[in-house]
Amino acid sequence: MRVALFTETFLPKIDGIVTVVCLLLDHLEKRRVETVVIAPKMGVQNYRSIPVIGVPGVPLPLYPELRVGPPNLSTYQRLKAFQPDVAHYIHPVLIGIPGMMMARRLGIPVLASFHLDLARLVHHYRLGFMEPLTDLATRVVFNAADASLAPSRMIQHYMQRIGVRNVGLWGRGVDAERFNPRHRSAEMRHRMTGGHPDDTLLLYVGRISGEKQIDHLRPVLDAVPGTRLAIIGDGPARAEMESRFAGTPTTFMGYMTGEPLSQAYASADVFVFPSAMETFGLVVVEAMAAGLPVVASRVGGIPDVVRIGETGYTFDVGDIEGLIAGVRAAAASRERIAAMGRAARAFAETQSWDAMMDEVIDLYADLIAMKRGEAQPLPA
């Protein structure tokens, strides 16, 4: 089996989409599936043993970490030379849509997976008049594929509601060894609490940008005595957030990876995530694997994984009082934090990446067999 994977974002940029792409590539290599990546040209020519075909582009004005531009004739020639059996598109837009046309010309089946909730994004930035257009674009693009995958039930229902056919579910897993309570570090906790390790430490991990609504965490620090906040990540709103949280018990840790990130998760008490939009919310499951109760907004896949009162609490987007109530309940006592953390860890241990990635490979095989006339078409 030979797979062409098209993605709108890739290394060296790091975000939830890139994380999932890399985990998928790792698994394809592990299963000895030959793969090529078509991605923005950012200086990465290979990922492990997998070649990367770089697509030239320019920085996106509202999101300068991304470079955008369509694939060209050279892209098509290299793709054709690879002779793929199936093409997988990670939320096709400027690279993916022309790439889908290339796949059709090559006569191979197409799979598209949903990773970016554009309709909620334009709504958050008060561009609601564009929602019908984004819904239409989503319906047309994903219906052009032979099959589609949603990352959560909430997104699956949305896609079906706007008329996307053949929508399966591709959930998200977690590396339960990398994110594990055993990585707890007294030194890391001292850093994250600004030298006050006995206080209750709230943790946010993710991009620092407007749609994450990190500023909603400031009232929590005022309303729940004895709490401190550590923010891990970077992004365009970092300077603004540092100014807004000035004078509060908040530590900005910057961007972290590897062992320091594992230690940071395991050294906190409660994970807080007030984001206005997510297609899944991968960091939530990572926090649960590290043994943290979660207080998060009901977006993306969060309702699929957080069990109210057992592993955490959820609240409506923008409901600061609900956020405060959730933190207050989760952090009521050390015993409560520990009990909910154990339950969160137990749930995370059931979320295997291997099983979820194997389901994608099985779908590749089904699509190839269907294209060759060896299987029945997928139900609409």
Count of Cβ atoms closer than 10 Å to residue 264 Cβ? 24
Residues 151 and 25 in one domain: yes
Which residue type is seen at 245? F
Note whether 155 and 269 are same-domain residues.
no
378 is a domain residue? no
* Residue 129 in this model has a pLDDT that exceeds 70: no
Is 327 inside a domain boundary? yes
Please indicate, yes or no, whether residues 88 and 148 belong to a single structural domain of this protein.
yes
Span 310-318, mean pLDDT? 97
pLDDT of residue 122: 56
Strands (E), the chain: 2-7, 34-40, 46-47, 50-55, 58-60, 63-68, 86-90, 110-113, 147-150, 167-169, 200-205, 227-232, 250-254, 270-273, 294-297, 312-315
State pLDDT tens for residues 210-237: 999 999 999 999 999 999 999 999 999 9
Query: Looking at the structure, do residues 261 and 359 belong to the same domain, yes or no?
Result: no
Judgement on whether residues 123 and 230 belong to the same structural domain of the protein: no
- Is residue 377 included in any domain, yes or no? no
Residues 356 and 318 in one domain: no
Indicate whether 258 pLDDT > 80: yes
142 and 206 share one domain? no
**Same domain membership, residue 292 and residue 201:** yes
* Distances in whole angstroms, Cα of residue 19 to Cα of each of 142, 162, 168, 346: 22, 28, 21, 23
Express each pLDDT in 171-193 by its tens digit: 888 999 999 999 999 999 999 99
| Torsion of Cα atoms, 260 then 265 then 268 then 270, to 10° | 160
Residues 176, 234: contact at Cβ < 8 Å?
A: no
Can you read off the two tokens belonging to residue 37?
């990546």
Number of structural domains (the chain) is 2
Domain containing residue 50? 2-173+352-371
pLDDT tens digits, residue range 330-342?
999 999 999 999 9
Average pLDDT, the chain: 93
Domain co-membership, 365 together with 333: no
Domain with residue 82: its CATH number is: 3.40.50.2000
**Domain assignment present for 344:** yes
Q: Does residue 264 belong to any structural domain of this protein?
A: yes
Q: Are residues 125 and 98 in the same domain?
A: yes
C-beta separation of 301 from 281 below 8 A: yes
Domain membership of residue 380 (yes or no) is no
In whole angstroms, what is the distance from residue 272 CA to residue 185 CA?
Answer: 20
Q: Are residues 157 and 260 in the same domain?
A: no
CB 25 within 8 A of CB 50: yes
Same domain, residue pair 206 and 305: yes
The neighbour count for residue 373, using CB atoms within 10 Å, is: 7
